[in-house]
Amino acid sequence: MLLLVTYTLQPQKRTSFLQDVQNSHILEQIRKEDGCLRYEYYLHVEKDDQILLVEEWASKEQQQIHLQQSPMQLLKVYKDKYVVSTDIRTLS
């Protein structure tokens, strides 16, 4: 299961969001979860307020379990603080 998640952040908050995520070690924790094949952020070259998250999971069930894990609860705090909108595309 492949997900393309685009975050649109508040103006000039991309760096703050990424620093909070990196300092909390959320990415390392998520990448160790059962079924996580890929979990990576990419920066948009032309839009300073956007980040692309590419998630790849062995199964939809494992991705759904991931949403209930503690790293995602902390990520929600950061998203509430910095993210204006989230667009999710699922690719099979």
pLDDT at 92 over 90: no
Counting Cβ atoms within 10 Å, is residue 88 exposed (0-12), middle (13-18) or buried (19+)?
Answer: exposed
Among 44, 39, 36, CA closest to 14:
44
| Domain boundaries, given as residue ranges, for the chain | 6-91
Determine the CATH number of domain 6-91: 3.30.70.100
> 68, exposed or middle or buried, with CB in 10 Å at 0-12, 13-18, 19+?
exposed
pTM over 0.75: yes
Residue corresponding to tokens 């997900």: 3
pLDDT in tens, 57-77: 999 999 999 999 999 999 999
- Considering the chain, what percentage of its residues have pLDDT values greater than 70? 100
Q: What is the pLDDT of residues 9-46, one digit of tens each?
A: 999 999 999 999 999 999 999 999 999 999 999 999 99
